Amino acid sequence: MITALWALGALALVFGAILGYAAIRFKVEADPLVDQIDDILPQTQCGQCGYPGCRPYAEAIAGGDIITKCPPGGEATIKKLADLMGVSLDSLDQTQNKQEKRVAYIREEDCIGCTKCIQACPVDAIVGASKQMHTILSNECTGCDLCVEPCPVNCIEMRPVQTTAERWKWDLQSIPVHVVEVK
Amino acid sequence: MPSLFQQIQAGRIWDFHGGIHPPSRKTQTSQKPIDSYSLPARLYIPQRQHIGVAGRVLVKVGDHVLKGQALTAADNAMAVPVHAPTSGTIVDICLHPSAHPSALPEPVFVLEPDGLEQWRPRHALDMLHADKAQILQRIQQAGIAGMGGAGFPSHIKAGAAAAVDYLIINAVECEPYITADDVLMQHHSDTIVQGIEILSQLLQPKAVLIGIEDDKPAAIKAMQQAVAGKNHWFVRALPVKYPSGGEKQLIQRLTNKEVPSGRRPIDIGIVVQNVGTAFAIAQAVLEDIPLISRVVTVVGQSLSRPQNMYALLGTPVHELLSACGFEPQPSQRLIMGGPMMGFTLPDARIPVVKTTNCIIAPTHEELPVAGPELDCIRCGACTEACPVNLLPQQLLWYSKAKDHTQLQAHNLQDCIECGACAYVCPSEIPLVHYYRVAKADIRETQREALKAEQAKARFEARKERLEREKQERAERNKQLAAQRQQQLADQQKQQIAEAQARTQAATTELTHAEIVAERERKKAEARAYQAAKLAAEQDIIQSAEPTLSADDRAEQDPRKAAIAAALARAKAKKAQASGEAESTSVEAATVAAAPALGNTVEPQSSSSDDAKKAAVAAAIARAKAKKAQASGEAESTSVEAATVAAAPALGNTVEPHSSSSDDAKKAAVAAAIARAKAKKAQASGEAESTSVEAATVTAAPALGNTVEPQSSSSDDAKKAAVAAAIARAKAKKAQASGEAESTSVEAATVAAAPALGNTVEPQSCSSDDAKKAAVAAAIARAKAKKAQSASNSEAATDPTQADSEPPLADSDAVLPPVPQDEPQVVAQPEPVAANPSAEDAKKAAIAAAIARAKAKKAAQNPQEPS
Amino acid sequence: MSEFLLLLVSAILVNNFVLVKFLGLCPFMGTSKKLDTALGMGLATTFVMTLASLCSYVAEQWVLIPLDLQYLRTLTFILVIAVVVQFTEMVVHKTSPALYRVLGIFLPLITTNCAVLGVALLNINANHGLIESVAYGFGGALGFSLVLVLFAAMRERLATADVPKAFQGASIGLITAGLMSLAFMGFAGLVRG
């Protein structure tokens, strides 16, 4: 009986020593997971997830937050995050479908040059200066909606992006297609 | 082992994987000559008919253009101009359905031919003396883009700088029905060869290979005759197989070389040009004929006379069809391009463009509509047919599953969308359609990923910039602080030095005379000081302009204020005596004076501050007054909402350092904001149209008021207070006459309160506050008496609050819980600007209690003055 | 030499741990959704099983038998396996963070893989020597990896196929595994004994 205990105890000690050594020898410093998650997120910095930007949300996800909080990312982002974090897709309740992409537009006749929207834009997509006309750089606008609120004269509206021939998506409705859900 | 070149010389041809053999159906049109048709009524020339960007528009509506005149100019390398196919007038430049599967509208020139066919002047290029750049420029200016179907700008391909081993002319035309290149070769082989020579001169290839399928014997013979005697020019007859005409497939057949995935033929030293493009190049360089027409095969069994046509670019398809005897069937389909790679046209207005080689108008028996899509039976026939050696079945599954990673791993980007896989599929699955959707999805995802990258970069840069600015500000502040410290230290040092000097002087023995002199000096200083003081007082009494230093002002102000109050009282009495105002106006005046008192005690603020704030408040009050008077209805809350909203807004937009010109701007801003707010209120159905006017009215006086660069603070403050008081009075009147709800009174006071509150500076010292408070209390008491005698439900003017801030007084005045009113509504607007010292708070509490008691008493005994 | 070959063939094909002995089904189903994951898992399990069979043989010979503690065999083997897996996890985390992330929870779950404990105990049953034990462990792991990779390839195709709704996911996976098992039973008789 005693020998059994001694034997097991000795074994445990030996193994513990090996593991301890291995823990120090193979120590891993950085946690690149947050970077990976941040790369997947759409970088609109809109704050709709409740965090002040995409990087804080990435850190939250790495810390265990749910991955369905990002509307601009849409389903594709959720799928990629699920793959990365090893979360199964069935267990999530899908948030709303990806909305149509919109960009902000300033009605120049109403703009008073207050620079409030410039301060609000997280990607500096608004050009202008105090008491000068403001305008949106449509190519840089991520459609995050953060500029609409601060405008004191309500001259910013969100307009859908126009479809051009290059961006045309080959209307699927004209042929009956079965899209298979990937499990 | 003979080299590749030797093998090619010997006539060897190779093959590519897969391919299909659909029935060619070319005999309908290949035997006939090329026909023309009469000028259509309108030509629709798209501004962009190639891969790249449209050129700069040169003409405008109403211009008369000549045949061959450039309608756009090429500003960069990827732009290719378009030209007028005939002389006429540009009647419109508008959007028109495009010659693209999506039929999305694109800008076109609408040309109405005048029938004269007047050419613009043409100058042939002298090939002997022209250099490469000139020839390329001519090719670009002539608007030549790849006519085999892709539309890539030809001058770019023809101007390739890298060494070219083989120039391949694509005369294969493997798609069924199409015979445009066939008849072109039959009838214009010499011009074609001239074009190929120009290309050869530009590219200097080792050999020229002309690939033609062997179902075109006449064309082969014509071309062989035309190139006879040219060194290293080979005409190769290829066994028929679709899709030999694909660029990479043709290269493989003629040279056994494969273009690596994702690369272009120039990377392996090969340039491929369509035979129609060569023809167009010859015409452009040698006869200065820009690309304004092309051969189009018009075919199909619903046409009685199918044939090839010289079609002017921009001709609507229906013109071509009617020229060929079109007999449309019910639900007739029109296909632009061939049956494999063409697309269905949504209507017949679509114009012929540079890349249109065929129009098919089939009957239902000829080209039946595809049956329903069945399930994939994994037969693998598609994989056997694919000319690019892909796995169409796997691509189908991954397209359905939207698995972009696997799609790219299976080289979806190399699919040439030839349709061979869909042709052989026994389940009639439209495979190419799936791939197109998937490709568009992948392209979109990549584009979004790129944008996300850029957005992230901009976000990081912005963060960095803000950090940097913060740092710089902190640095600057530190520096300034250090400077100030330094200054202070210096000052102190100086003072110490002076003191020391003085003490030294003092300790040194002064002669009696010196001492006397010293005494006299001091006396003189004191006298001067007194004189100055007196003079200052006189000034103040005589005028209201404070031109004294800050120290003196502080002393003078209470006196000034008292005087001002007296004046105001007098004025009010006078006004009353003349029957202008009711008794409340007296209170109003005195109330006005109180805040005026408060207002003048501002040692630290600049006059422009108060001027602005006062003006704004005045405007607001006036507008409110007008509104209350004009409508005097139950919806006054909305007005107040608008004005209250406007008031703080107006207050907000005031900035401490502006000059008078800025005032005007600010007023405009304020007006805009007020307008916007009013509009908002109106839109939400709250306010009536009068509120908009009210807002504008508010703005207008604000505009008027702010242009007073020199007014002193006390003036405007007084005005503001007066106005506020008047507004209050009027509101009370309205209520007293039983029109308004009780809330309007409180609201009026609320409006006045913040207005007045805004004009109060938080820096006032306590002694002035006390005085202010006392005055205000007295006034309020008087008001209360008057108000109560006038109406029962009025409790708004209660009183006795000895608060430190007049606004507080006002709002507490409203506090008294008269049962009928809703005091809670107004209990809140206590200006945050207040400096709540302990005693003030206590005073406020006491005052509130007293007020409540009074109110109760008043309610019980309406006639009894409290 | 030929015995080792026979042992290996037997462990890989004839008595395949997953499809014939039905051990280690949890990681078999869990990591076979993608081919890359399966490959990584196979490698990790090979490493663990070989090392574990070596260590458990050593523990048996040098600790349990001399001290007459054979009744502690199961406990000791689990301890050994747990340590080996933990060690493997640390090594993988350091050398290949991508694989570490891809395997996720299944890496420490190799501890509970009954194939690992199975191979250790089966070595004792069959009275294998040191080299034989190691060879058997290695062979078993190879068989596990082979089947895992095959199954993953099939599951990737199944994921995009028109599977009836009721069968989608694990159901069709298990049915496929059963069919694979039937196929592997065909190897019976390949190696005498």
Residue B668: predicted pLDDT: 56
Which residue does chain C place closest to B406, by CA atoms?
C156
Query: Residue B619 falls within a domain, yes or no?
Result: yes
Distance CA B125, CA B213 (A): 33
Distance CA B240, CA B20 (A): 9
Q: Which residues of A touch C171 (CB under 8 A)?
A: none
Map residue C165 onto helix, strand or coil.
helix
Residue where one domain finishes, among candidates B486, B513, B528? B486
Residue B379: predicted pLDDT: 94
Q: Do A8 and C79 touch (CB under 8 A)?
A: yes
User: In this model, does residue B535 exceed pLDDT 50?
Assistant: yes
Q: How far is CA B258 from the centre of its chain?
A: 46
Of chain B, the percentage scoring pLDDT greater than 70 comes to 63
Residue A177: which of B698, B747, B396 has the closest Cα? B396
Element containing residue B295 per DSSP (H, E): strand B293-299
Q: Which residues of B touch C159 (CB under 8 A)?
A: 401
- Residue B20 DSSP class: B
Query: Residue B93 falls within a domain, yes or no?
Result: yes
Residue B774: predicted pLDDT: 56
Same domain, B377 and B351: no
pLDDT bin (cut points 50, 70, 90) of residue B346 is confident
pLDDT, tens digit, 9 for 90 and up, residues B483-526 = 998 898 899 889 888 888 888 877 666 667 777 888 898 998 88
Q: How far is CA A116 from the centre of its chain?
A: 25
Which residue does chain C place closest to A6, by CA atoms?
C67
Residue B283: which of B83, B116, B75 has the closest Cα? B83
Same domain, B131 and B98: no
- Residue B33 DSSP class: P
Residue B602: predicted pLDDT: 38
Q: Which residues of C touch A82 (CB under 8 A)?
A: none
- The per-residue pLDDT of chain B, averaged, comes to 75
Residue B658: predicted pLDDT: 39
pLDDT, tens digit, 9 for 90 and up, residues B551-564 = 444 445 556 656 76
Chain position carrying tokens 């840069």: B461
pLDDT bin (cut points 50, 70, 90) of residue A146 is confident
Residue C55: predicted pLDDT: 92
Query: Residue B606 falls within a domain, yes or no?
Result: yes
Query: Residue B316 falls within a domain, yes or no?
Result: no
What is the nearest CA distance from B651 to chain A, expressed in angstroms?
14
Residue B797: predicted pLDDT: 40
Q: Do C72 and A8 touch (CB under 8 A)?
A: yes
Residue B712: predicted pLDDT: 42
Same domain, B532 and B511: yes
Count Cβ atoms below 10 Å from residue C95 Cβ, excluding itself.
11
Choose between B516 and B304: higher pLDDT. Answer: B304
pLDDT, tens digit, 9 for 90 and up, residues A37-89 = 888 888 877 777 778 788 888 888 888 888 877 777 777 788 888 877 777 76
pLDDT, tens digit, 9 for 90 and up, residues B400-433 = 988 898 999 999 999 999 999 999 999 999 999 9
Mean pLDDT, range B170-184, rounded to an integer:
94
Same domain, B480 and B446: yes
Residue A90: predicted pLDDT: 59
Q: Does C188 touch chain A (CB under 8 A)?
A: no
User: In this model, does residue B750 exceed pLDDT 50?
Assistant: no
pLDDT, tens digit, 9 for 90 and up, residues B386-403 = 999 999 999 999 999 888
Residue A123 is nearest to which of B403, B437, B459, comparing CB atoms?
Answer: B459
Which residue does chain B place closest to A183, by CA atoms?
B401
Same domain, B242 and B386: no
Q: Is the C-alpha dihedral spanning C7, C10, C13, C17 positive or negative?
A: negative
Q: Do A165 and B433 touch (CB under 8 A)?
A: no
Residue B59: predicted pLDDT: 93
Q: Which two tokens stand for residue B855?
A: 């109110």
Query: Residue B594 falls within a domain, yes or no?
Result: yes
pLDDT, tens digit, 9 for 90 and up, residues B609-652 = 555 565 565 556 565 656 655 554 434 444 443 444 444 434 34
Mean pLDDT, range B656-667, rounded to an integer:
49
User: In this model, does residue B692 exceed pLDDT 60?
Assistant: no
Same domain, B407 and B535: no
Q: Do A28 and C161 touch (CB under 8 A)?
A: no
| CATH code for the domain defined by A100-162 | 3.30.70.20
Residue B440 is nearest to which of A41, A124, A170, comparing CB atoms?
Answer: A170
Chain position carrying tokens 């663990």: C48
pLDDT bin (cut points 50, 70, 90) of residue C99 is confident
Using CA atoms, how far residue C85 sits from A18, B483, C46, in Å, is 12, 66, 11
pLDDT, tens digit, 9 for 90 and up, residues B88-132 = 999 999 999 888 888 888 899 999 999 999 999 999 888 888 889
Which residue does chain C place closest to A182, by CA atoms?
C159
**Secondary structure tally for chain A: helices H, strands E:** 5, 4
Q: Do B403 and C157 touch (CB under 8 A)?
A: no
Residue B165: which of B256, B226, B246 has the closest Cα? B256
Query: Residue B771 falls within a domain, yes or no?
Result: yes
Its pTM surpasses 0.80:
no
Residue C120: predicted pLDDT: 93
Q: Which residues of B touch A43 (CB under 8 A)?
A: 452-453, 455-456, 459
Q: Does C30 touch chain A (CB under 8 A)?
A: no
Give the residue numbers spanning the domain of B736: 491-795+803-859
pLDDT bin (cut points 50, 70, 90) of residue B854 is confident
Distance CA B533, CA B158 (A): 94
pLDDT bin (cut points 50, 70, 90) of residue C145 is very high
Mean pLDDT, range B662-668, rounded to an integer:
56
- Residue B306 DSSP class: -
Residue B788: which of B780, B776, B779, B797 has the closest Cα? B797
- Residue B270 DSSP class: E
- The beta-carbon contacts of C177-181 under 8 Å, at least 24 apart in sequence, are C177/C19, C177/C25, C177/C28, C177/C29, C177/C151, C180/C19, C180/C147, C180/C150, C180/C151, C180/C154, C181/C19, C181/C20, C181/C22
Chains that touch B (3 or more CB pairs under 8 A): A, C
Query: Residue B27 falls within a domain, yes or no?
Result: no
pLDDT, tens digit, 9 for 90 and up, residues A75-130 = 778 888 887 777 776 555 554 445 567 888 898 888 888 888 888 888 888 998 88
What is the nearest CA distance from B396 to chain C, expressed in angstroms?
9
Domain boundaries, chain A: 33-85, 100-162
Chain position carrying tokens 């004294």: B548
Q: Ranked by mean pLDDT, which of A119-123, B349-353, B862-866 comes out on top?
A: B349-353
Same domain, B534 and B617: yes
> In chain B, how many domains are there?
4
| CATH code for the domain defined by A33-85 | 1.10.15.40
Query: Residue B310 falls within a domain, yes or no?
Result: no
Count Cβ atoms below 10 Å from residue B790 Cβ, excluding itself.
16
Residue A152 is nearest to which of B106, B397, B676, comparing CB atoms?
Answer: B676
Same domain, B647 and B519: yes
Same domain, B49 and B92: yes
What is the nearest CA distance from A89 to chain C, expressed in angstroms?
12
**Secondary structure tally for chain B: helices H, strands E:** 26, 15
Residue B651: predicted pLDDT: 38
- The beta-carbon contacts of B541-547 under 8 Å, at least 24 apart in sequence, are B544/B712, B544/B714, B544/B715, B545/B712, B546/B712, B546/B714
Residue B202: predicted pLDDT: 92
